[in-house]
Amino acid sequence: MEPTKPKEKKQKVAKDDPCFECGEIGHWKRNCPVYLKELKAKRDAGKTSGTNFMIQVELNVISSNTWVLDTGCGTHICNLLQGFKRSEHYAKGEISLFMGNGAKVHVEAQGDYVLKLPSGLEVILKNILYAPSLTRNIISVSLLRQYGFDFKFVDNDIHVSLNHMFYFKAMPCNGMNIEQEVAAKVH
């Protein structure tokens, strides 16, 4: 039989120890108001995981430059060739998409698309489909998640980041979340 070890006393928060989450002194992460608010937001966001939603990202006033973040679409789709890094072109009717309203949309090309943000950051949308008849461009949330992007719900806003670096914020407008703080530019 091995001797039992005496229980270690729990450490108390030292007056000068900063919180690992917010940097404030006087509490640890498990009691941090910032951390607890984030946990609640994650829990609340998880309650809507079975629903589809879309976020419209306005690049400028021209609707063909509007980017919509879509949780129900499994691929990126654009109506602009400007921004393609490389592309493979298809004959008309070779590849088609069927929209939610039953409309058939022809795909003319597929490739990588460089979406440049005013901050200088770039998002490379791989294997994006080019369908010029679409009125808005679609960014697949599920593919961005595969790239490692995170979506954080803060109040009514959605913050999009990669490796803890903030890319843009989408804010609600007319029932959809519109990216307003950082208007992306297409190059």
Q: Tell me how far apart the alpha carbons of residues 148 and 161 are, in angstroms, rounded to a whole number.
A: 9
Percent of the chain whose predicted confidence (pLDDT) is above 90: 25
Greatest mean pLDDT range, 22-36, 54-68, 98-112, 166-180 = 98-112
**What pTM, to 2 d.p., does this model score?**
0.59
Hey, where are the domains in the chain? 14-47, 54-172
What number of other Cβ atoms are within 10 A of residue 58's Cβ?
Answer: 19
What average pLDDT does range 134-163 have in this prediction?
88
User: Is domain 54-172 classified as CATH 2.40.70?
Assistant: yes
List pLDDT tens digits, range 85-101: 888 999 988 999 988 78
